[in-house]
């Protein structure tokens, strides 16, 4: 019944199959309603508003429904979401098609003898494909067709949400970009309170214990974040060994050191696998923790099960890795090449690593609030990072830019004086002035970008305090050390260069199967124990991660900075 929400919050994929069978509090429903395909025959007499209200009253899986409501809010309404998804599909198609054209349909060897594109295109290049390539394209075609179908199905769900927002919450589409989330939460709570009455009017059999439950900001946040809270706790407690067991291999020590920390290996790809292996295993299709995890006697079985999931996903990953790497490479080349060529200094841009984001995140903090917090911290983080230029690198780059600048100056002067003679003048065989001007220009842009502005005023401590104000992340050992190079290095690993993160993503796609095979199975007992120990039952909410109900005292080693504020209190801020 429930379509998975887009990016921000991941819900159970299988929930739609079984959600209609039981209500969220386990009671069998007297009137199971199928509203996936639009208004059913039995409700033909109701108008749009009553239909939407009927659907809301009959929600069986409240978690998934709220997550869908939230995703609709974050995605900024039906048109933006549909447009974004559609264009994403088109982008994938474009990348595959254009890559194929570039790689298979142009005769590069004959390009020197022709001056026009039409002469070097291979006619009917598709039909010349070999068997395997052809098979791959058939497979991709099937995948793409399935995506298109699921896009259309998603639109149907969006229409459903659109009606909920328009008719039940009274939020027209034009306002969805500017209304605040607390305002939406307030309206949901209000509707909920008046539900019993409405529900009674629509279907007399519905009034019951479920309707009595109130639904406030805290409850909604807890329901939306139920699974995310477990993941936040998992990463904060360092239960997952994401490093490669390279110590057995004869490797140079720096590689071994690198792999031991595992900082560079928590990538989006691995994160997705972890979500799938761990959270899908732990939660039932409705998104609630499965009760079987709470009994110690099931421990061995569960551990075995989790290990099998890791191994299985490793195989799946290994099969798809080459295609994903190829796709990522082509996509990134299309996306970034022109940008970096035009403005090479932008290559030094940074962002928080996925691991850093998990560490900065707080329990029950909704993704859009977390993102806002990160965005507020970026200007300070960037300035803080630039406060510690390596004086050695700066000295070398100053020399490099001087030498490149000297060559460029001579070539430029010649070109300015007499562009016609010089632009085609060959400096080395087959390489003209134009080529060298481009080359030195790029070298200059990069090297100058790495020479720090000499007028910078050094004051890292103040800047770090500004950063901490937004990241809420300040380990105890940073106290009184905010000015030091050590903190800078540590923070630099959390706020990494985009290009490094990209390379890590690429490498990770290849390494992920190995991590799934060799490192993670060993963590299975700890993970199973963690779920059992840190799950509590809250009335009206069901089982949730115990950290999320703010019983911090009990749990020692989770990093909670002194500046952190319960996040649901921040809900009012947007």
Asked whether the beta carbons of 550 and 231 are under 8 A apart, the reply is no
Rounded to whole angstroms, how far apart are CA atoms 139 and 318?
17
Asked whether the beta carbons of 404 and 444 are under 8 A apart, the reply is yes
Q: Determine the distance from the C-alpha atom of residue 77 to the mean position of all C-alpha atoms in its chain, rounded to a whole number.
A: 20
410 scored as a contact of a copy of itself (CB under 8 A): yes
Which one of 46, 325, 412, 451 is in contact with a copy of itself (CB under 8 A)? 412
104 scored as a contact of a copy of itself (CB under 8 A): no
574 scored as a contact of a copy of itself (CB under 8 A): yes
Token duo for residue 552? 């911090």
Question: In whole angstroms, how close is the CB of 551 to a copy of itself at the nearest point?
Answer: 32
Which one of 134, 320, 399, 550 is in contact with a copy of itself (CB under 8 A)? 399
Which one of 111, 201, 329, 565 is in contact with a copy of itself (CB under 8 A)? 111
Which one of 182, 405, 449, 492 is in contact with a copy of itself (CB under 8 A)? 405
Rounded to whole angstroms, how far apart are CA atoms 187 and 572?
14
Name the β-bridge partners of 543: 537
Question: In whole angstroms, how close is the CB of 450 to a copy of itself at the nearest point?
Answer: 14
455 scored as a contact of a copy of itself (CB under 8 A): yes
Subset of residues 156 to 175 that bind a copy of itself, contact rule: CB under 8 A: 174-175
Which one of 139, 142, 249, 395 is in contact with a copy of itself (CB under 8 A)? 395
Question: In whole angstroms, how close is the CB of 156 to a copy of itself at the nearest point?
Answer: 20
80 scored as a contact of a copy of itself (CB under 8 A): yes
Rounded to whole angstroms, how far apart are CA atoms 62 and 2?
10
Name the β-bridge partners of 544: 536
Nearer to a copy of itself, 113 or 253 (CB): 113
338 scored as a contact of a copy of itself (CB under 8 A): yes
Nearer to a copy of itself, 32 or 438 (CB): 438
Greatest CA separation found in the chain?
91
- 527's CB contacts (< 8 A; 6+ apart) are 234, 239, 240, 278, 306
116 scored as a contact of a copy of itself (CB under 8 A): yes
Question: In whole angstroms, how close is the CB of 409 to a copy of itself at the nearest point?
Answer: 4
498 scored as a contact of a copy of itself (CB under 8 A): no
109 scored as a contact of a copy of itself (CB under 8 A): no
Subset of residues 358 to 377 that bind a copy of itself, contact rule: CB under 8 A: 372, 375-376
Question: In whole angstroms, how close is the CB of 387 to a copy of itself at the nearest point?
Answer: 9
Nearer to a copy of itself, 369 or 544 (CB): 369
291 scored as a contact of a copy of itself (CB under 8 A): no
424 scored as a contact of a copy of itself (CB under 8 A): yes
Which one of 33, 408, 501, 520 is in contact with a copy of itself (CB under 8 A)? 408
Name the β-bridge partners of 432: 426
Asked whether the beta carbons of 554 and 316 are under 8 A apart, the reply is no
Q: Which CB contacts under 8 angstroms, 24+ apart, belong to 492-495?
A: 492/385, 493/263, 493/353, 494/352, 494/353, 494/355, 494/356, 494/359, 495/350, 495/351, 495/352, 495/353, 495/356, 495/381, 495/385
Question: In whole angstroms, how close is the CB of 235 to a copy of itself at the nearest point?
Answer: 23
- Backbone phi, then psi, for 486, in 5-degree steps? -60, -50
Nearer to a copy of itself, 111 or 319 (CB): 111
Asked whether the beta carbons of 523 and 240 are under 8 A apart, the reply is yes
349 scored as a contact of a copy of itself (CB under 8 A): no
Rounded to whole angstroms, how far apart are CA atoms 440 and 573?
49
- Backbone phi, then psi, for 259, in 5-degree steps? -70, -20
Q: Applying CB under 8 A, which part among 35-43, 162-170, 409-417, 530-538 lies near a copy of itself?
A: 409-417
- Backbone phi, then psi, for 190, in 5-degree steps? -65, -45
Which one of 144, 425, 478, 514 is in contact with a copy of itself (CB under 8 A)? 425
248 scored as a contact of a copy of itself (CB under 8 A): no
Question: In whole angstroms, how close is the CB of 337 to a copy of itself at the nearest point?
Answer: 4
Nearer to a copy of itself, 42 or 438 (CB): 438
Which one of 21, 32, 34, 79 is in contact with a copy of itself (CB under 8 A)? 79
**What is the SS3 assignment for 175?**
helix
What ranges in 225-298 are assigned the alpha helix state H?
Answer: 226-236, 253-261, 268-274, 280-282
Subset of residues 126 to 155 that bind a copy of itself, contact rule: CB under 8 A: none
326 scored as a contact of a copy of itself (CB under 8 A): no
State the burial class of residue 392 (Cβ atoms within 10 Å of its Cβ: 0-12, 13-18, 19+). exposed
Question: In whole angstroms, how close is the CB of 162 to a copy of itself at the nearest point?
Answer: 15
Q: Determine the distance from the C-alpha atom of residue 98 to the mean position of all C-alpha atoms in its chain, rounded to a whole number.
A: 26
Closest CA to 434 of 447, 448, 453, 421: 421
115 scored as a contact of a copy of itself (CB under 8 A): yes
438 scored as a contact of a copy of itself (CB under 8 A): yes
Rounded to whole angstroms, how far apart are CA atoms 570 and 572?
5
Q: Applying CB under 8 A, which part among 207-215, 277-285, 331-339, 540-548 lies near a copy of itself?
A: 331-339
Which one of 104, 139, 326, 413 is in contact with a copy of itself (CB under 8 A)? 413
235 scored as a contact of a copy of itself (CB under 8 A): no
479 scored as a contact of a copy of itself (CB under 8 A): no
Token duo for residue 189? 């709570």
Asked whether the beta carbons of 506 and 329 are under 8 A apart, the reply is yes
State the burial class of residue 555 (Cβ atoms within 10 Å of its Cβ: 0-12, 13-18, 19+). middle
Subset of residues 175 to 194 that bind a copy of itself, contact rule: CB under 8 A: 175, 177-178, 180
Question: In whole angstroms, how close is the CB of 550 to a copy of itself at the nearest point?
Answer: 27
Q: Applying CB under 8 A, which part among 190-198, 226-234, 334-342, 533-541 lies near a copy of itself?
A: 334-342
Pairing of strands 431-432, 426-428: antiparallel
Fill in the DSSP letter of residue 275.
I
Nearer to a copy of itself, 83 or 301 (CB): 83
């Amino acid at each position: 019944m429930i379509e998975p929400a887009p990016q921000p919050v991941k819900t159970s994929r299988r929930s739609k199959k079984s959600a209609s069978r039981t209500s969220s509090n386990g009671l069998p429903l007297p009137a199971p309603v199928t509203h996936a395909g639009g208004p059913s025959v039995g409700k033909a007499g109701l108008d749009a508003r009553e239909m939407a209200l009927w659907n809301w009253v009959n929600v069986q899986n409240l978690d998934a429904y709220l997550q869908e409501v939230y995703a609709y809010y974050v995605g900024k309404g039906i048109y933006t979401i549909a447009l974004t998804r559609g264009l994403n599909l088109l982008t994938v198609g474009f990348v595959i098609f254009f890559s194929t054209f570039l790689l298979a349909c142009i005769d590069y060897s004959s390009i020197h003898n022709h001056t026009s594109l039409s002469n070097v295109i291979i006619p009917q290049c598709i039909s010349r494909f070999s068997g395997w390539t052809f098979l791959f394209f058939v497979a991709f075609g099937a995948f793409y067709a399935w995506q298109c179908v699921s896009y259309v199905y998603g639109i149907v769900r969006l229409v459903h949400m659109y009606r909920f927002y328009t008719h039940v919450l009274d939020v027209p589409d034009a306002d969805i970009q500017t209304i605040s989330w607390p305002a939406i939460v307030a309206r949901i709570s209000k509707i909920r309170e008046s539900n019993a009455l409405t529900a009674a009017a629509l279907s007399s059999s519905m009034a019951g214990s479920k309707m009595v439950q109130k639904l406030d900001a805290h409850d909604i946040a807890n329901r939306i974040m139920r699974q995310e809270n477990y993941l936040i706790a998992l990463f904060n407690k360092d239960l997952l060994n994401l490093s490669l067991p390279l110590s057995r291999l004869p490797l140079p020590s720096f590689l071994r050191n690198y792999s031991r920390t595992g900082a560079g290996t928590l990538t989006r790809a691995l994160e997705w696998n972890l979500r799938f292996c761990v959270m899908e295993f732990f939660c039932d299709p409705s998104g609630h923790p499965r009760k079987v995890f709470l009994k110690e006697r099931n421990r061995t079985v569960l551990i075995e099960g989790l290990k099998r999931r890791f191994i299985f996903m490793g195989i799946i990953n290994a099969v798809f890795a080459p295609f994903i790497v190829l796709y990522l490479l082509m996509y990134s080349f299309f996306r970034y090449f022109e940008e970096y060529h035009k403005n090479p200094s932008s290559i030094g841009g940074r962002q928080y690593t996925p691991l850093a984001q998990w560490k900065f995140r707080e329990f029950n903090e909704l993704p859009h609030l977390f993102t806002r917090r990160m965005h507020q911290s970026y200007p300070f983080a960037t300035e803080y990072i630039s406060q510690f230029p390596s004086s050695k690198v700066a000295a070398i780059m100053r020399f490099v830019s001087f030498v490149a600048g000297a060559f460029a100056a001579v070539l430029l002067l010649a070109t300015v004086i007499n562009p016609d003679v010089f632009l085609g003048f060959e400096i080395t065989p087959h390489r003209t002035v134009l080529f060298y001007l481009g080359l030195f220009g790029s070298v200059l842009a990069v090297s100058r970008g790495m020479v720090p502005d000499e007028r910078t005023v050094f004051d890292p401590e103040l800047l770090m305090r500004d950063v901490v104000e937004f990241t809420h992340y300040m380990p105890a050992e940073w106290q009184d050390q905010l000015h030091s190079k050590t903190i800078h290095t540590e923070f630099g690993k959390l706020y990494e260069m985009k290009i490094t993160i990209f390379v890590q993503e690429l490498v990770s796609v290849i390494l992920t199967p190995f991590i799934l095979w060799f490192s993670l199975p060993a963590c299975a007992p700890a993970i199973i124990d963690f779920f059992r120990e840190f799950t509590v039952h809250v009335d009206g909410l069901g089982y949730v991660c115990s950290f999320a109900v703010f019983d911090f005292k009990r749990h020692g080693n989770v990093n909670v900075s002194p500046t952190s504020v319960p996040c649901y209190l921040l809900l009012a801020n947007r």
